Amino acid sequence: MIGRLIAAYRAVHPDLRKPGLLALTVSLSGPTLGLARLVTGGATKLRPGVELERRQIPGPGSAAGVGVLIYRPAGRRLPSPVVLWVHGGGFVFGTPQADHARCSAYADELGAVIVSVDYRLAPEAPFPAGLDDIDAALRWVRASAGELQLDPERLILAGASAGAGLVASMAQLARDRGDPAPLLQLLIYPMLDDRTALLRDHAGRGWFGWTPRSNRFGWSSYLGRAPVEDAPPYAAAARAEDLAGLPPAWIGIGDIDLFQPEAATYAARLDAAGVPCELVVVSGAYHGFDTVDAKAAVSRRFVAQQHEAMRQALATWDPAAG
C-alpha cells in the first residue's frame, strides 16, 4: 500500500507535488459526507469588476425553485454570450459559490454572462433531480434571454467533474428533444461512466482528489443503488449508444485522474460519430488539480486552454447558420 502510494506520488507533475497532496487520498463515504460539504462549500474570491446576482427560478415540474448565480462582466457587449455552468462534487457535495473565482474569471475573460446552477444533490435527491434542475435552468436562460440581454444562440454548456457529466447528459437530452444546439460542451475531468465504479484495477489512477471508493459512493448515491450493468437513460452520459448530432466538445483531464480512461473513450466515440472533439490530457495531473493548486503553472495553462476553447467557439459562431 505504502509502496503504491509513493509510486503514485512520483507520477504527479512536479508543479503539483506538495506535502498536502497526501491529504487528497482520503475517500468519501456516508459518515464523512457532512464534513466534505462543510469543507468544500465556502465561497471563493470573486474577480473585481464582475457583478454577482442570486436568483430563484422556476423548478422542474412541481418541484421547488432552482437557485442560480449570475455573473456579469463590466462593460459587456449586448446581447451577451452565455455560459451555463454546473459545479462538481461527485453528485453529492459542492456549491455554486465555491466556483466564484472560476465563474467570474470566465465572465471577465470571455465578456460573457455565466449562469451557475445550484442543483439538488444526492443522496437526498438522486437521479434525475440534478439533471432536471440543469434542464430547468437551461430552459429559463433561453426563455429569459431578452430580460437578461443575452444571445441564446451564443450559448455554451460547461461543467467540472460530476457537473461535466451532467452537462454531457444535458447535451444528449437537448439533442433528443430537438432543442437548439449549444456552441460547445466544455467537459472538465468529466464523471461520465458509472461502470468505472465496477472496476477493480485502475492502473495506478485515482490516488488523489477522487478515489475509486469515493467514486462508488458518488455513483451509488446518485443512482439510488450501487452501480450495476445497466442505468437509466441520461443517468450516465457514457452509456448513450448514439453520440451523433451532439455539440462540439472540449474535454480536459489529467492522465492520473481516475476518469481519464472514460474521458478518452468518450472523446474517441464523439470523434467517430462525427462530433468535433478536442481532448487535452495533462501529464501528471490528478482530479481537480487546477482548483487544488490553482497557482501552479500547469494549472494556469489548463485554465487558459478552457478560456481559449470557449473563446474560439464564440468567435466561430455563424449568425447565418445559427
- 202 catalytic? Reply is no
What's 196's DSSP letter? G
| C-alpha dihedral (64, 46, 218, 115), degrees to nearest 10 | 40
- 257 catalytic? Reply is yes
| Catalytically annotated residue among 161, 169, 221, 299 | 161
Sheet containing strand 249-254, strands side by side:
50-57, 66-73, 113-118, 80-86, 150-160, 184-188, 249-254, 277-282
Q: Which three cell numbers stand for residue 26?
A: 482520503
- 287 catalytic? Reply is yes
DSSP assignment of 6-31 equals HHHHHTS-GGG--GGGGGGGPPP-HH
Q: Specify the amino acid at residue 230.
A: D
Given the DSSP bridges, would you call strands 184-188 and 150-160 parallel, antiparallel or unpaired? parallel
Distance of CA 34 to the CA centre of its chain: 21
Residue keyed to cell 465555491: 98
Q: Which three cell numbers stand for residue 300?
A: 494556469
Query: Residue 171 burial by CB count (10 A; 0-12/13-18/19+): exposed, middle or buried?
Result: buried
Q: How far is CA 129 from CA 64, 135, 155, 228, in A?
A: 11, 10, 23, 20
Q: Which three cell numbers stand for residue 157?
A: 454548456
DSSP assignment of 204-224 equals T--SSSS-HHHHHHHHHHHHT
| Catalytically annotated residue among 287, 290, 293, 299 | 287
| Catalytically annotated residue among 99, 118, 194, 257 | 257
Q: Which three cell numbers stand for residue 146?
A: 431578452
Pairwise CA distance, residues 123 & 258, whole Å: 22
Q: Cite the active site residues.
A: 161, 257, 287
